[in-house]
Amino acid sequence: MEIGSKIRIKENSHIKKRDNKWVVLITVCTFFISVTLAFISDSIMPNAKIAAAILILFIIVVTGIVFDMIGLAIATASEQPFHSMASRRVSGAKSAIFLIRNAEKATSLCNDVIGDIAGIVSGSATAAIVGRLVYLYNYDSILLSLLLTGFVAAFTVGGKAVGKTYAISHANKITFFVALVIYYFEKIRPRRRA
């Protein structure tokens, strides 16, 4: 018996083929979201006080870290516990199953759209803060730019490393929390009349 001749590698049949409409939609949405956020950041940051600008930068970076963590949690969460919860009619369980079954789209939205846009906008916000500090206090722009960019990059990467560790070990809890937010949002959203 030849060992190699009978072995077939089974592809991941549970992974759906990429939906072309989703790719186009997410690309267009990313363009408009990034343009809008960059415009808001570029409008607010140059005129904001330094403390407010740093707070805005901090919020942008933390948003990227949190959504990176959410995306990874959804991708690694287990569907089985939520079936048990759904059979007991636990609020948010069906939303969690939906998220896990659509993990490719959920992670694309969280990690690629929100996470990457936060990274890009944080870069332009950092540049705006450097420009403001140089204008107000006549600091050395090169040294300040290097220090602030290095700090933001280190905080982002370190935060994402901590977030990834937490997301993998608490994937179901994070997914369920996000599912509950979606469930309650759906509940309070006004329904269209037929």
Structural domains of the chain, count: 1
Residue 13 belongs to some domain of the structure: no
In a domain, 14, yes or no: no
In a domain, 66, yes or no: yes
Domain that holds residue 67: 19-188
Task: Report yes or no on 4 lying in a domain.
Answer: no
Residue 62 lies in a domain: yes
CA separation, residue 148 to residues 86, 133, 137, 152 (Å): 47, 11, 15, 6
Mean pLDDT for the chain? Answer: 86
- pLDDT tens for 108-145 read 999 989 988 898 889 888 988 888 888 888 888 889 99
Give domain status of residue 11, yes or no: no
Segment 1-45, tens digit of pLDDT: 455 555 555 555 444 555 678 888 888 888 888 888 878 877 887
Residue 194 lies in a domain: no
Across the range 59-86, mean pLDDT stands at 95
Does a structural domain hold residue 130?
A: yes
pLDDT tops 60 at residue 94: yes
